Amino acid sequence: MSEDLNALLEKLTLDEKISLLSAKNVWETPEIDRVGIPSLKVTDGPNGARGNNFYDGTTAACFPACVSLAATFNRSLSRQVGRALGQEAITKGAYVVLGPTVCCHRSPLGGRNFEAFSEDPFLSGALASEYVIGLQEERVAATVKHFLANEQDTRRFSVNEKISERALREIYLRPFEMVAKQADPWCFMSSYPKINGKHVDAQNKFLIHILRKQWGYDGMVMSDWGAASTVEGVKYGLDMEMPGPPRQRTPEAVHEALKEGRVSEADIDARVLSTLKLLKKVGKFDDRRDTPEEQAVDRPEHRALIRKAGAEGLVLLKNDRCILPIDLKKTKKIALLGPLAKYAAAHGGGSASLNCHYKVTPYDAFIDRLPKDVQITHGKGAHIFRVYPDLEAGCINSNGNPGFVADYFMELDISDGKCFRSEEFPRGSFNTLMNTNVTGCQSVRLSTTHKPPITGDHYLSFSGLGPSKLFIDGELVAEQTGPTKDAMGFFLGVQDEIRVQYSFKTGKEYLIVAETHPSPVSNAELYLMDNQCSIHLGFILQAEMEQDVLSEAVELAKDADLAIVFVGNTTQWETEGQDLSSMNLPADGSQNHLIASVAAANPNTVVVNTTGVPVELPWFEKVPALIQAWYAGQETGNAILDVLLGEISPSGKLPISWPVKYEHTGCHGNFGLDSYESREVEYVEGTHVGYRWFDKLWGSEKEVRFPFGYGLSYTEFKVKNAQANGSFEEVVKVTAVVRNIGHTAGAETIQLYVEPPAEDGVVKKLVGFGKVDLQPGEEKDVEVQFKRQDAAYWEESLNKWMVSKGTYGVLIATSSAPKDVRARLEVVVDGDIVFEP
């Protein structure tokens, strides 16, 4: 392959090679027809292949978020999901998937935590490796992201992160290293932040020295969208600037850099060769030469896999009185309560969002699947709008179709009405970002005719990226005179809105028109947001907004045999682009108050929490059962019900530590919004991330509420006959027998931790895990192996890995908590073991 590609490289002119240093548009690399180099399409994202359009595109399968996959502790399942994602990408004409995300969860306030696997680098690396292998079995490239240290979204385009070398090596580089060496991913994606003063692509340390030389990586590295910071990235190992057209790597800039000696033609050749290798690996030089049209292919086997993976990731955190699974012989009236009962929390916001083939809410699942003699009632219980829902119902556009029409103009003055393009949208929102058909537009008019279902002073919300106006029947009802406060937040669905009430009468039609212009100041710190146009128009009926939903929910709970409260975050609250402000459920305590009120009314109250992060639980002692549901994909309602009914015994384990309060974490005061003004954050906790931090706090008031690796089952297990054989110089094999001593089939995950000598500075670290399915009374052997790399620490004085002389504890456990250690073995290391990275 290399000889053929080198020969092809020699045929290219310098300008042609320069053109291959950046994408041609948002999702595609450039083609060079003269020598037969085809274009290549990429697609978001980590839990579904979205295709071309960020919103309202061709439908796609939505798989569980990576944090949900991590909770399964199931390597095989992660590989199956990866393979299915590859199949989905092919239906969108894309042969590169922009995932998985393997950045570690540094803080429970990470807005994008749900998109990554875990706080633990070993678990992240192990499951991400399987995901990548599965994806690439379909000859679709994985893109491991975001390399490096993209743990927070606050100021992610400009923040400088101060991280020790040891923390970099042991926590933040480690999962990338595992994936690079174990799965051979065909792509990496570089990140936005500065690390110790420089961007990743502005130094040779990460992309050249560590990734390529130390780890032997031979794949392609692309930038995150808009993350290329300098033309010298060509020298420092960044193969392709995304998206196109280029900002840093314009032909003029590259020629100037060549002339001044800041890059060489050999650097350019190396970057182009990486792209050619990728094209070859995914088959673009042969059987995949022609990119098909985007297709929506809803496969039954994908539905089944999503449901299985979603259910296996659910974590049962509390089950007093064995209130779960639901006994339908005794339970004949169930109240489904909470703002997420009729909301399918399939995914988080941002790059992980997509237009699902379908979504199953918990309410849908209960209504469709429970026997007819079980009565189901429903109450919302709380309003948690961060922005009002899009205006959609009762809207007909000027073409006679449901929804809106957007007319695009090249002039600021649109009074003559001569637009250069019109597009239809199903609801009251649109965005020009990533829409290559309307590049350069100076004005947009969004319009519809709305017929309200009932009379009332209904609630409207309105906002735009730039200066915007809202008219109803020609009357100006709202005006935004300047740019939005946060352009990236706006794009990701978190708008700073103007809210008004307007008197509507049923039977009457209202012409609603919104006009907007691009903002001269993007307020996003990302050039991609410059000169973009966007509008959001929200709508809520007066009766819905002013209804006493809490009292209704409490009354329904009183009258029910069982109350199930569905709470959590929506894509408005948990999304790429913004970190969370606290560990509290939104909004303004309403969900916490709802749970406490329902629990007071009905002692048989189950809480199902759907977030990608831990939250504070002020009502925890008042409820007998709690399930953490994550974002389980398009089958989320069915997956939750499978566990509630006991059709699947819960086997999920927390891939994160669950603090009582954010103030108890090691990064408190040094994460996210804390760094908003300074644009700098220090990783003060070093390697003590997650359970490594809380291991020091057992028995104190800051003890973690739920430990890493924790999760209950509907059955019980016994671990016995643990043994360890081997040495750190080669491999240590640990075996144990696991027996199901309960009355229900289930699965247990054995976690292997190494407890190093005191001078290491870390109490213990995860080095392996194994999961086993067991029928009642059945027992099986479990074998878990680990190597010296898994137990080593980074010795900064030597710039090498080290396993210190001494006695190492090998803990066989079912969580990271001391009480869950089932056996402790020892391995003696006679002398220091030092080795190169």
Burial class of residue 299 in the structure, from the number of CB atoms within 10 Å of its CB (0-12 exposed, 13-18 middle, 19+ buried): middle
Whether 607 is covered by a domain: the verdict is no
Note whether residue 73 is domain-resident: yes
Residue 187 lies in a domain: yes
CA angle 829, 832, 834 (to 5 degrees): 125
Nearest Cα residue to 457 out of 517, 542, 330: 542
Q: Is 157 helix (H, G, I), strand (E, B) or coil?
A: coil
Give a yes or no: residue 350 inside a domain: no
- Which residues form the catalytic set? 224
In a domain, 581, yes or no: no
For the chain, how many structural domains are there in total?
3
Instruction: Say how far apart CA 473 and CA 485 lie, in whole Å.
Output: 29
503 beta partners: 457
Question: What is the tally of helices (H) and strands (E) in the chain?
Answer: 18, 36
Q: What is the pLDDT of residues 69-120, one digit of tens each?
A: 999 999 999 999 999 999 999 999 999 999 999 999 999 999 999 999 999 9
Alpha-carbon distance of 789 to 653, in angstroms, equals 24
CATH number at residue 400: 2.60.120.260
Span 29-66, pLDDT tens digits: 999 999 999 999 999 988 999 998 887 889 999 999 99
Task: Give the per-residue pLDDT at 759.
Answer: 61
In a domain, 199, yes or no: yes
Q: How far apart are CA 129 and CA 116, in angstroms?
A: 13
| Of the candidates 404, 676, 626, 406, the residue with the CA atom closest to the CA atom of residue 516 | 406
Considering the domain boundaries, does residue 315 fall inside one? Answer: no
Q: How far apart are CA 676 and CA 623, in angstroms?
A: 37
CB within 8 A of 669, min separation 6: which ones? none
- Domain boundary (281, 314, 336) is at 281
User: Contact at 8 Å (CB) between 432 and 438?
Assistant: yes
Query: Comparing C-alpha atoms, which of 735, 823, 748, 725 is closest to residue 783?
Result: 735
257 and 405, same domain (yes or no)? no
Domain boundary among 545, 578, 610: 545
Q: Cβ atoms within 10 A of the Cβ of 476, count?
A: 9
Residue segments in the chain with a per-residue pLDDT below the cut of 50: none
Residue owning tokens 């392996």: 768
Q: Are residue 115 and residue 252 in the same domain, yes or no? A: yes
Q: Measure CA 332 to chain center.
A: 38
φ and ψ at residue 805, rounded to 5 degrees? -60, 140
Q: Residue 497 gets which letter from DSSP?
A: -
Find tokens 């360890």 and name the residue.
Answer: 724
Tell me, yes or no, whether 239 lies in a domain: yes
Residues 6+ apart with CB under 8 A from 825: 722, 723, 724, 734, 809, 810, 811, 812
Query: Do 271 and 405 reside in the same domain of the chain?
Result: no
Q: Is the dihedral of CA 219, 222, 224, 227 positive or negative?
A: positive
Handedness of CA 86, 88, 90, 94 (dihedral sign): negative
Give the domain CATH number at 138: 3.20.20.300
Predicted local confidence at residue 53, as pLDDT: 84
CB neighbour list of residue 492: distance below 8 Å, 6 or more residues apart:
349, 350, 575, 576, 577, 578
Q: Are residues 50 and 199 in the same domain?
A: yes
Q: Tokens 């991280």 identify what position?
A: 163
Co-location of 275 and 423 in the same domain: no
What CA–CA distances, in Å, run from 486 to 492, 504, 646? 10, 31, 45
Give residue for tokens 């670290």: 765
- Helix ranges (DSSP H) in 614-761: 636-644, 691-694
In this structure, what token pair is assigned to residue 38?
A: 């085809």
Distance CA 456, CA 453 (A): 9
Tell whether 245 and 114 lie within a shared domain: yes
The predicted pLDDT at position 1 comes to: 55
What backbone phi and psi angles, to 5 degrees, belong to 682?
A: -105, 130
Cα–Cα distance, 288 to 279 (Å, whole number): 10
- Beta partners for residue 195, in sequence order: 161, 198
Pairing relation of β-strands 333-337 and 562-568? parallel
Give the CATH number of the domain where residue 734 resides.
Answer: 2.60.40.10
DSSP-assigned letters across all residues of 100-125: -B------TT-TTGGGB--S-HHHHH
pLDDT attached to residue 18: 98
- Tokens at residue 789, please? 């790399």
Last residue of a domain, one of 545, 574, 595: 545
Alpha-carbon distance values, 690 to 123, 483, 815 (Å):
13, 39, 13
User: Which domain range does residue 227 map to?
Assistant: 2-281
Q: How many CA atoms lie within 13 A of 244 on its CB side?
A: 22
> Locate tokens 């008004």: which residue?
500
